[in-house]
Structure 1
Amino acid sequence: MGAERCLGGAVAATSYQGKEACSKVTSVSQLLIVAAASLLSQSSLANPSREVSPVVDTGATPTDTALDADAYTNQVSPKVDVAMVYYQERDRVTVAEGIFKLSQNFGDKDKLVTKLALDTITGASANGAVTQQQVQTFTRPSGTGVYQARPGETPLDDTFKDTRLQLSSTWVHTPSAGTLTTLGGYLSREYDYTSIGLNGGGQWSFNKGNTQANLAGGYFYDIANPVGGRPAPMSEMVFRQDFDSEAAFKAEFDKTRQSGSESKQTLDISLGLTQTVNKYWLMQINYGVSYVSGYMTDPYKVLSRINSDGHAVGYHYEHRPDKRLKQSLYVMGKRALTYGVFDLSYRYSIDDWSIDSHTLESRYRVNLTTRSFVQLHLRAYQQTAAKFYRLYLRDDQALPQYGSADYRLGAIDSYTIGLKYGQRLKDGTLATFRLEYYQQRPQNSGFDLVGQLRRFDQFPNNDAIIAQLGFSF
């Protein structure tokens, strides 16, 4: 998703004057390929360290800085972009992030772009258990203490908190006219997760510079070391109150855990073609494939085991497959208008987990003056459920090999609407402010709501507000 967002914003960010932006073919070409390569390493909440992020499909991740594309335009002096982002879900997750990006040219052919991001994540995350009419008690991931869900409330794990530091750097080299290459690295570190990666790409222009073909690839190696250890697949949660001593509980709790860390590897490849139709129109098509192998289970998610009355009689830790192949096709059209720029894009994605998704997105940017603009952002997203997604487990049936009740792997519709305002200050600094509203609408993909389950909303909406303040100078 990061690629399509960067690519979709490239022309609009090149110039305040829409017609001039679409006529700068060489500059646009550089922006497109760098964006395509950097997507493989620089996305924050959408990076591979979180297989399913709480905000991965909003179309408005914190790394959508004020003018990402401007970092790759030619200039002698260093260029600095800073942004502060705040993401708030209703009664759930809160994310605060600070981003610093430095771009420096080295002669006419080389540029180094370095980005540092620090974010804190706090709040409560849905643990996967179904809503019940009685109080539910859960053992914390560490095995120390419990947390509870009140009657009629979605069970939320309030231990969801972390601080993440990310560093990425990309070297951009232009060996000759019409050719551009990139090479980058990525490092992300948080308490229970480490991600490192390499990425690179190339772009070739032809047809008098009106056509650009690009190829980008990336490799990531992630290490997970969950709090309390990795739960044994589909093992049942144990509770201190069921044992006579702490030692007896600890011995049984340890049986549900696997020692040591676990890893995951990701290989991404992206192919793209961009065509300047005329000085007003730009069209683009991208194909991407991603192969992931290793540990993709969320160690903090559970499934409820229910009886015929819908009463939860136990909880089991989830287990996901250790391989995933994803493919996506993205098309975008961008039109320069008299007083702005309009773009419309569509993305179709499939994978061998049976998750199919559709994303329709548009931005309409209006230049209020030669120094200010306002931009409307609309996005609609829809996905089907993973083949191993389950709302619950049945007490009278054998445990499956794979299972997850994480609603982000279920059928979901989501919508984003937002506005961004930009103002060029007297000293040349560009200040921007973005405010967006995002809503997830989980859907029932065919599960029977037996007994007491039908009394409550097992698929509640999840609303969020995203605010961002950015400066480019």
Structure 2
Amino acid sequence: MQLTPKHNIASALAMASCSLLSYQTLAEEQASVNDGWNVDAAIMYYGEQERVQAVEAIGNVQKSFGESSLLDMKLVVDSLTGASASGAVAQSDSQTFTRPSGNGEYTVAAGETPLDDTFQDTRVQLSANWQEILNADWTVNLGVYGSNEYDYLSLGLNAGVERSFNKNNTTLALSGAYTNDTVDPVGGRPVALSEMVFRSDYDGDDAYQAAFDATRLLGDDTKQTADMMVGVTQILNRNWLMQANYGFSSVSGYMTDPYKILSIVDGNGQSHGYRYENRPDTRTKHSVYILAKGALDKGVVDFSYRYNTDDWDIQAHTLETHYRYYFTPSLYGQLHLRYYQQQAAKFYQPFLRTGQVLPDYASADYRIGEMSTYTVGLKFGHRLSGGHELSYRIEYYQQNPENNGTEIPDELNNHDLFPSVKAIVAQISYSF
């Protein structure tokens, strides 16, 4: 089953617009260690309570060529299993759902949040980026990206240019990325807001298959994303710098999650079937990001704020900080705190009502609903001889979905329609 690819275009843009100062420092370090080679390897575990589990292997290789060129290559392989919320609401009786493929059914116990236990996938991601310092003032870069899952293929390009002023104390950056995604869901793409069919309602397999096929569209579909980012980095003094970015993103194509559904409930909150969701095929996003980073007597600290808004009416605020403390020159600990708050998309609905005229767009996916999240993490690193480093990271993440103001019918008040999602992230990394 598909998980929306974790590749974030913003990360490609960040790579495309990294500061000249940090690049020069990295190149100098690489030139003195392993003849310009730098390798990072990591294994990460992500586990949600009673939901998705993921294991990810990450390999990153950087090679500097002289003092002006840097090649960065990355390989990510991850495996995901577990159960994902389908979008249906809990009921006082057990519920049976048709699997996305149309082959078979699964049953959810009374009072339980409906989770689709067919969630599984393996993803392979490759990316490469070339950075070139043209002279003391100009830096350019170019990157490519590819990611493949069972039902999702993503291919992209990114490029950027930087201009330094004021004795390299000020850097302006402009970068962009373009990605083309191909979606080929298991069982096919559902017809927008079509009703789920069940084998038990038909006399034979042929009649059921014909009814199921009527809820599906033939072939795959695509999505295109164009991103732009402009930013400035300013060194304030020998200990502090600030960075400010503005990002713009335009997305068009298939953005519906083919595996998400909505319950149809009556005035008492009892379910009378399910419909597949539908989302708009265009989306325009804006973001503003501000970062302050400083060197302390025995550590480094940063504070950041990000504001996101789009024409789906999703607005989000993110506050984040890292504080790294050096116990010795070779041993450090790092604290990570993050808070995120989001308002729901304008077409988000936790359920549909019987007798209601169907809207053009509707989704009960909690990921585009109203929510707040927080992350608390610790990381410890040990610098070894020869420029090597071993680090450990452990984080706790909690997501708290909230009602966006929808009136809840009687029966549904007996159930938790907005359950929290809790997860643990653990990672071991080795750099050499």
Pick the TM interval, shorter chain: over 0.9
Instruction: From the two aligned structures, give the one with the greater strand fraction.
Output: 2
Partner of 2:22: 28
Tell me by how many angstroms 1:443 deviates.
0.5
Partner of 1:80: 39
Query: In structure 1, how many angstroms separate the alpha carbons of the residues matched to 2:250 and 2:9?
Result: 17
Tell me by how many angstroms 1:2 deviates.
7.4
Tell me by how many angstroms 1:177 deviates.
1.1
Q: How does 1:49-198 map to 2 (within 5 A)?
A: 74-75=30-31, 76-198=35-157
CA change 1:153–1:457 in 2 (3 A) is same
Pick the aligned partner of 2:186 from 220, 227, 238.
227
8 Å contact kept, 2:27–2:64: no
The one-letter code of the counterpart of 1:116 is L
Query: In structure 1, how many angstroms separate the alpha carbons of the residues matched to 2:28 and 2:10?
Result: 15
Matched residue of 2:118: which SS?
coil
Q: Which moved more, 1:421-430 or 1:235-244?
A: 421-430
Structure 1 segments of 4+ aligned residues over 3 angstroms from their partners: 1-8, 70-74
Tell me by how many angstroms 1:107 deviates.
2.7
8 Å contact kept, 1:166–1:188: yes
Q: Mind listing any 5+ residue stretches in structure 2 that lack a counterpart? A: 1-7
8 Å contact kept, 2:348–2:365: yes
CA change 1:199–1:223 in 2 (3 A) is same
What TM-score, normalized by structure 1, do the two folds share? 0.86
Partner of 1:214: 173
CA change 1:204–1:124 in 2 (3 A) is same
Query: In structure 2, how many angstroms separate the alpha carbons of the residues matched to 1:143 and 1:373?
Result: 52
Query: In structure 2, how many angstroms separate the alpha carbons of the residues matched to 1:314 and 1:448?
Result: 19
The one-letter code of the counterpart of 2:47 is Q
Query: In structure 2, how many angstroms separate the alpha carbons of the residues matched to 1:443 and 1:194?
Result: 32
Matched residue of 1:408: which SS?
helix
Tell me by how many angstroms 1:108 deviates.
2.6
Tell me by how many angstroms 1:28 deviates.
2.3
Pick the aligned partner of 1:428 from 368, 373, 387.
387
Query: In structure 2, how many angstroms separate the alpha carbons of the residues matched to 1:144 and 1:462?
Result: 29
The one-letter code of the counterpart of 2:264 is R
Tell me by how many angstroms 1:106 deviates.
2.2
CA change 1:470–1:71 in 2 (3 A) is farther
What TM-score, normalized by structure 2, do the two folds share? 0.94
8 Å contact kept, 2:9–2:177: no
Q: Mind listing any 5+ residue stretches in structure 1 that lack a counterpart? A: 12-24, 32-69
Tell me by how many angstroms 1:30 deviates.
5.5
**Over aligned residues, Cα RMSD in angstroms?**
1.9
The one-letter code of the counterpart of 2:360 is Q
8 Å contact kept, 1:27–1:73: no
Tell me by how many angstroms 1:5 deviates.
11
8 Å contact kept, 1:30–1:180: no
1:144-189 Cα deviation digits (max 9, x unpaired): 0011111111000001110000000001111111221110000000
Partner of 1:395: 354
Partner of 2:407: 448
CA change 1:30–1:330 in 2 (3 A) is farther
Amino-acid identity (%): 51
Pick the aligned partner of 2:276 from 302, 307, 317.
317
Tell me by how many angstroms 1:426 deviates.
2.9
Matched residue of 1:249: which SS?
helix
1:312-342 Cα deviation digits (max 9, x unpaired): 1010000000000000000011111000011
The one-letter code of the counterpart of 2:21 is S
Query: In structure 2, how many angstroms separate the alpha carbons of the residues matched to 1:225 and 1:318?
Result: 16
Query: In structure 2, how many angstroms separate the alpha carbons of the residues matched to 1:280 and 1:340?
Result: 11
